[in-house]
Amino acid sequence: MQFTSADLERVESTWQQFVPSSSLQKADPRRFRFDWRSEELETASLIDYRLAAQVHSRAEPLEQLLVCRVEAPDARVWSGRESLDAQSVWISDGTEVEARWDRSARVRAGVFDHQAAENRARQITGDDR
């Protein structure tokens, strides 16, 4: 899927197709642009988007592994009281994660079915526990 939009609801509904718990808490509609690209695989989705807006978002990827990186000079990512390095790759397996930026960010993410990823890891490592 690939598209460009200036519709705030389209951002949230698109993200919710991949991470149902995601929500756009705040976004400034006056300076808004959304460029989305994604590829769906059997048990995973690869996502790359740019979102130009002042943003506060939240996700709690239940039964999923969310591997993500937010590229923005002013990005802040946190989970509970713990701050995460927004510029580095971070992973959530059900813990609520929030992100905020003021101008524009590029977000790259992999969303994996938790059980399928666990099964594949067992196959790779030979660990059947």
What pLDDT was estimated at residue 126? 86
* pLDDT at site 129: 63
pLDDT < 50 stretches in the chain: none
Q: What is the pLDDT at residue 75?
A: 94
Name the pTM for this structure. 0.84
Three-state secondary structure call for residue 15:
helix
Q: How many whole angstroms separate alpha carbon 21 and alpha carbon 12?
A: 10
